[in-house]
């Protein structure tokens, strides 16, 4: 039993824990106190997964929790990672631990986001998107990701694909990061061009919105689904305060307007 009578609140579960028994974790310049249980089981439900791709063919995977991380070799890669790859993976994991932030959309739902990097960070965001699981859109996103990863590796730039957790079981955040010390001004400009080129080829905002709102691929959607999407887009385009004032009659009028537009 601890002889110290001072207690602190666990950052994870909120329970009181003796200061002597609390585990101190430094994150983003802050000292957090965590109980042994929250620390031990932190990686059971990770908030981020990543794969680091090295130009020499080596790959390192990682899982990141709220307070700690683990990195390990990707045995499906064509080459074994060297010590430098593990060092970069640990640097990336530390970067994610310091910058991952929970963004609530309401009291029960939300998602983890990676805060904007500053000029001193070693990792620079190349692109960002959302995975809609088991959909045609997610298949196209994978093609987009594979294309960009191949492009950066051909430029001898280490690149990391990061998947972040959301409260929706069927969606995840997707981010692609490049190792800044491997880049110069010319590579940076070329990468921006390649991202724009790849997005034009593989990403479709109308397909994404329809799938996100209905859970269906475009070829599965019927007229009711498309009507729902049109109305949802109108509502989402309005300021929040205006949305709160919408009445049942307003919604009925929107439906009638969209139906008249479709039938014209």
- pLDDT given at position 27: 82
Instruction: Give dist(CA 69, CA 62) in Å, integer.
Output: 7
Instruction: Give dist(CA 159, CA 2) in Å, integer.
Output: 46
- pLDDT given at position 2: 44
- pLDDT given at position 117: 65
Where helices occur in the chain by DSSP H, the ranges are: 36-40, 83-99, 136-154, 185-202, 205-214, 223-236, 240-244, 248-263
- pLDDT given at position 248: 93
Q: Distance from CA of residue 104 to its chain's centroid? A: 14
State the helix-helix crossing angle for 185-202 and 136-154, rounded to 10 degrees.
160
- pLDDT given at position 83: 85
> Among positive and negative, which fits the CA dihedral 56, 127, 172, 120?
positive
The answer to whether the beta carbons of residues 78 and 108 sit under 8 Å apart is no
> Among positive and negative, which fits the CA dihedral 238, 239, 242, 244?
positive
Please tell me whether residue 26 adopts helix, strand or coil conformation.
strand
Q: Using CB atoms within 10 Å of the CB of residue 205, give its burial: 0 to 12 exposed, 13 to 18 middle, 19+ buried.
A: exposed
User: Tens-of-pLDDT digits for all 264 residues of the chain?
Assistant: 345 568 999 999 999 999 889 999 988 778 999 999 999 999 999 999 999 999 998 999 999 999 999 999 888 877 788 888 999 999 999 999 999 999 998 888 999 999 876 777 899 999 999 999 999 999 999 999 999 999 999 999 999 999 999 999 899 999 999 999 999 999 999 999 999 999 999 999 999 999 999 999 999 999 999 999 999 999 989 998 999 999 999 999 999 988 888 887
Instruction: Give dist(CA 108, CA 184) in Å, integer.
Output: 43
């Amino acid at each position: 039993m601890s002889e110290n009578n001072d207690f602190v609140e666990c950052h994870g579960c909120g329970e009181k824990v003796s200061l002597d028994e609390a585990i101190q974790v430094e994150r983003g310049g802050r000292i957090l106190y965590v109980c042994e249980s929250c620390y031990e089981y932190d990686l059971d439900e990770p908030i981020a997964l990543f794969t680091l791709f090295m130009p020499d063919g080596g790959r390192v995977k990682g899982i990141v929790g709220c307070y700690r991380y683990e990195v390990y070799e990707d045995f499906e890669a064509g080459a074994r990672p060297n010590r430098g790859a593990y060092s970069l993976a640990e640097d990336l994991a530390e970067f994610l631990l310091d910058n991952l932030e929970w963004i609530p959309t309401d009291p029960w739902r939300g998602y983890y986001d990676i805060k904007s990097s500053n000029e001193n960070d070693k990792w620079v965001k190349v692109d960002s998107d959302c995975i809609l699981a088991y959909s045609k859109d997610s298949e196209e996103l994978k093609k987009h990701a594979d294309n960009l990863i191949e492009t950066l590796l051909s430029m001898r730039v280490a690149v990391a694909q990061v998947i972040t957790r959301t409260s929706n079981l069927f969606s995840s955040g997707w981010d692609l990061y490049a190792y800044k010390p491997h880049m110069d001004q010319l590579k940076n400009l070329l990468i921006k061009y390649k991202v724009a080129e790849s997005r034009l080829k593989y990403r479709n905002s109308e397909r994404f919105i329809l799938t996100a709102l209905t859970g269906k691929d475009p070829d599965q959607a019927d007229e009711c689904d498309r009507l729902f999407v049109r109305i949802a887009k109108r509502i989402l385009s309005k300021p929040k305060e205006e949305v709160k004032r919408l009445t049942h009659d307003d919604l009925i009028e929107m439906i009638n307007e969209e139906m008249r537009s479709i039938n014209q």
